[in-house]
Amino acid sequence: MVSDNPKTRLFNEARQVRCQADDLLKRLQDSKRAIEQRCAELGRSDPMTFVTGRSSIDEAIDAAREIIRRSDRLLAESNGTQRIKPRIARPEPAVAAQ
């Protein structure tokens, strides 16, 4: 049964967006691993990482984590005492270029 309560509807939509952000984070991390592996195979480094110390995918991963953290906090606040178990994927060690 779908609720006509606007607060419930918004809460459910927010949960859906949070799940999408979690999926995005996982895909970004998978892509980062693939890029680092490919760079290592080619004996190259990412130019952005070389210049700034961080790649654009690192920035995107951080942004996705922040969206998840904020979503978790807002969802918990809007749902009273019920907490949503954080599923934030942790950073993984970088693949060393060879």
Condensed to tens digits (0 to 9), the pLDDT of residues 16-69 reads 989 999 999 999 999 999 999 999 999 998 888 888 889 999 999 999 999 999
Angle in degrees, 0-180, between the axes of helices 6-42 and 56-78, rounded to the nearest 10: 160
- pTM more than 0.75: no
Residues 21 and 64: beta-carbon distance below 8 Å: yes
Q: Is the pLDDT of residue 15 over 80?
A: yes
Instruction: Please state, in angstroms and as integers, the Cα–Cα distance from residue 79 to each residue in 13, 47, 73, 85, following that order.
Output: 13, 44, 10, 13
What pLDDT is stored for residue 19 in this prediction?
93
Tokens representing 79? 């749902």
What pLDDT is stored for residue 2 in this prediction?
55
Identity of the residue numbered 56: S
